[in-house]
Structure 1
């Protein structure tokens, strides 16, 4: 897997496919492998970049403070390193949406379209306290101490019908570096990126998971209402859409990102 040495992060990434450039941003606790099933559904129409965010997966561990803005700066540097334009489309999942909004709000970015899937943007006082407590817990006791409570909400029993897929996700979650994961929790806990939503002028697709216990459809719809040019939809998924509902997610992404003249053909291909 290629690795890009950025200013203060070493980022592992993968590029596949051909066509318009599309970046995928994974969830807190996830890796680029969260998109393993989704990517093949996109690569006939898009040149797809996915990567392990700083401190995640195979990217270098982080044992100091990080912010959502640091993640956005990583994305800007990574795009330049791999030859992607700053005008690429972005699809983000859960806490990855905070990075997407932070990047799209940068003065040097010109994102033409943005997909926010189960977006984790606003952090209530109760949720902030939970993230801080989880950060402290994982520092003391490691990933195994929080895996059941965390996946119990993001990957509940009702969505574990494919045992192999669930167990693979669980193993990746447990493989996280505990300190890096704790810092990622704190980055989300301290963000105020939701304040930037009214300034997003590009078309935005906002997807909710019908079975999402962390960001229920009503909450996600409220996020969509804060964005001037947003389209809201619900799919049959939980919080981890590319793992739990890749086909439905891909269908919405292909239709949303496609030029108008191609949308009818895409609709027909999904209903043959």
Structure 2
């Protein structure tokens, strides 16, 4: 189980394959395990790096818990591994981190893939965090993890898939989950995305109720030259619902720009 010292903590990561590098950035409540299915395919053509955000998976909840810290840890991890240029591939919270990396270190980014995410700036973020905290207090962390997981997957998702993501997210609830959710809800990229010049692909599941197709289209339109792909039968965690379709989109886009 490899770890890399990143400033004030150790970050758990995985690296496999060879070729141009992809940096996989998971969702709130996720971990490197989120990428298992697509990594097996992508690592045949690419160097694939994934890691656990602070307080997720096997990375300790040390230091700042935020989207910006997640992005910085990812960029520093790639540098520590000797990877000069890469394509950040971010899902949900990871999509925010991918945008942050593209803005902070544009010379290192070959392209950007943003999945089931948004440009932020939506009103009512504090209320959404408060509602999540109240619901956790009402039904408990275990039940909330299942409820949260079910709300993020497609309607046809199996109970096994719901349980698997619930098991990933449960250790983050409540403290890390609410800290990271607060950071997510505070993001507003609407005035900044025009500065992204790297080739960009926006992916969204057609059943994504958290950041729906219209929100993805809004995000796409803010980035010059960005393209969008809709995955049928996928919810907010499209990489879980449709891993083959997700992996194919990533591979084809990445191959077209490297």
* TM-score > 0.5, shorter chain as reference: yes
Which residue does the alignment assign to 2:124? 126
Which residue does the alignment assign to 1:269? none
Find the residue that maps to 2:191 and give its secondary structure.
helix
**CA separation in 2, counterparts of 1:136 and 1:225?**
35
Residue 107 of structure 2 is aligned to residue 100 of structure 1: no
Cα deviations by residue, 1:137-194 (Å, 9 ceiling, x for unpaired)? 55897532522442342125x2323x33332222112232531122111111222234
Which residue does the alignment assign to 1:16? 16
Cα deviations by residue, 1:111-158 (Å, 9 ceiling, x for unpaired)? 1111111114414123442124324655897532522442342125x2
Q: TM-score, structure 1 length as denominator?
A: 0.86
Q: Which runs of 4+ in 1 moved over 6 A?
A: none
**CA separation in 2, counterparts of 1:258 and 1:177?**
37
Once superposed, what is the RMSD of the aligned Cα atoms?
2.2
Aligned length: 257
Cα deviations by residue, 1:11-68 (Å, 9 ceiling, x for unpaired)? 1000011111111000011111001111111111101000101111110024x65332
Residue 83 of structure 2 is aligned to residue 84 of structure 1: yes
Indicate conservation of the 8 Å contact 1:132/1:186, yes or no: no
| Among 203, 207, 210, the residue aligned to 1:207 | 203
Matches within 5 A, 1:49-198: 49-62=49-62, 65-85=64-84, 87-107=85-105, 109-135=107-133, 138=136, 143-156=141-154, 158-161=155-158, 163-176=159-172, 178-198=174-194
Structure 2: unaligned runs, 5 residues or longer: none
**CA separation in 1, counterparts of 2:114 and 2:183?**
18
**CA separation in 1, counterparts of 2:112 and 2:212?**
20
Matches within 5 A, 1:24-63: 24-62=24-62
